């Protein structure tokens, strides 16, 4: 077997964390492995990036956030829908006051995964306790973008459903390999009013794909105008939606397709997902990107996830901030 020309091969995370040549550790693996990899990096005083979610559950997140603060390191989590140009533009339009007083917002999406079938590589997310599911991944990415544009919920009320408790594991050709039980939810609805202004918001996500071909739709309605964002996937962090600005009413209504230009080096960032991630890393490197978020913000999102589960279990309205 020929030797590979790697300068070094390291099998232990602590060796990487304690290497003086390592300035930052990027953790981009399955969710249940995040905590065990992030903790030694923080203990060694390294700056850390973690793809979303930060960890499996709120106790793990709280421990990592406290450790990062104690060590005084810089952190970033991969909530990169905030870097999507249409999302950034939507925020600018809302902040400009063009829509008037915000009245309501409705968002629905499909999670691609978490539907009637799963590949072997994604089967780990079928177990609720793993922490990588419809609620924590596509829904939370989308709601984080919503909060970036409109602000946080005052409180949330949630309904969850596991309406496909048994699904098929398939191979690359779509052939069924076996049936498996799942405990993760495939339907979620979150409602509430915004903390600032009281606009009513409803977010609904389903596993799999929509038969209508509309896998993502988001409306923001105000007294003077509306925004409509639509896309081919409910994973808002991965795809740039179209953006329409609708002003006026009745016969005076105007509809504007909002074009978002990419300038300079941004044009070289290939693909929507690559663009969003690249802009996040630019911001982390100091390129004046205020939308980059770290572990403190991740704690807010994980508390929101916890509030969603509490609300669904108890039938109550729950606060998270």
At the topology level, CATH places domain 81-264 in: Dihydrodipicolinate Reductase; domain 2 (3.30.360)
Give me the residue spans of the domains in the chain: 81-264
d(C-alpha 80, C-alpha 260), whole Å:
17
d(C-alpha 45, C-alpha 172), whole Å:
41
Of all residues in the chain, the percent with pLDDT exceeding 90 is: 83
- Per residue in 174-230, pLDDT (tens digit) is 999 999 999 999 999 999 999 999 999 999 999 999 999 899 999 999 999 999 999
> From residue 268, how far is each of 70, 78, 207, 264, 280 by CA, in Å?
38, 20, 33, 8, 15
- Per-residue model confidence (pLDDT) at position 266: 56
- Per-residue model confidence (pLDDT) at position 103: 99
Of all residues in the chain, the percent with pLDDT exceeding 70 is: 94
Q: How many CA atoms lie within 13 A of 123 on its CB side?
A: 14
The stretch 34-46 carries a mean pLDDT of: 98
- Per residue in 271-299, pLDDT (tens digit) is 799 999 999 999 999 866 677 999 999 99
> From residue 25, how far is each of 51, 57, 79, 140, 289 by CA, in Å?
11, 21, 17, 24, 20
Edge-first strand listing for the sheet containing 166-170: 117-119, 166-170, 176-181
- Per residue in 238-247, pLDDT (tens digit) is 999 999 999 9
Tell me the average pLDDT of the chain: 93
Residues forming a β-bridge with 2: none
The stretch 82-96 carries a mean pLDDT of: 96
pTM beyond cutoff 0.85: yes
The stretch 306-316 carries a mean pLDDT of: 99
- Per-residue model confidence (pLDDT) at position 92: 97
């Amino acid at each position: 077997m020929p030797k590979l020309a790697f300068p070094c091969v390291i099998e232990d995370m602590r060796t990487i964390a304690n290497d003086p040549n390592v300035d930052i550790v990027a953790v981009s693996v399955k969710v249940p492995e995040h905590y065990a990899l992030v903790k030694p990096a923080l203990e060694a005083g390294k700056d850390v990036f973690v793809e979303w979610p930060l960890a499996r559950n709120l106790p793990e997140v709280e421990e990592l956030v406290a450790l990062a603060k104690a060590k005084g390191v810089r952190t970033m989590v991969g909530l990169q829908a905030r870097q999507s140009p249409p999302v950034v533009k939507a925020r600018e339009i809302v902040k400009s006051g063009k829509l008037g007083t915000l009245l309501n917002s409705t968002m629905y999406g499909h999670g691609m995964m978490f539907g009637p079938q799963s590949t072997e590589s994604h089967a780990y997310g079928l177990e609720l306790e793993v922490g990588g599911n419809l609620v924590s991944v596509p829904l939370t990415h989308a709601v984080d973008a919503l909060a970036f544009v409109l602000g946080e919920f005052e409180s949330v009320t949630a309904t969850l459903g596991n309406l496909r408790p048994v699904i098929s594991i398939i191979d690359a050709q779509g052939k069924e390999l076996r049936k498996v039980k799942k405990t993760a939810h495939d339907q979620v609805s979150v409602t509430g009013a915004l903390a600032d202004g009281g606009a009513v918001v409803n977010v609904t996500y389903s596993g799999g794909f929509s038969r209508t071909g509309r896998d993502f739709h988001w409306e923001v309605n105000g007294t003077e105008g509306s925004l409509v964002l639509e896309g081919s996937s409910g994973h808002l962090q991965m795809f740039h939606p179209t953006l329409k600005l609708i002003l006026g009413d009745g016969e005076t209504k105007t509809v504007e397709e909002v074009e978002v230009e990419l300038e300079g080096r941004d044009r070289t960032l290939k693909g929507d997902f690559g663009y969003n991630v690249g802009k996040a890393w630019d911001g982390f490197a100091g390129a004046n990107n205020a939308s980059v978020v770290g572990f403190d913000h991740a704690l807010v999102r994980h508390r929101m996830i916890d509030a969603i589960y509490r609300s669904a279990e108890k039938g109550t309205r729950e606060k998270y901030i």
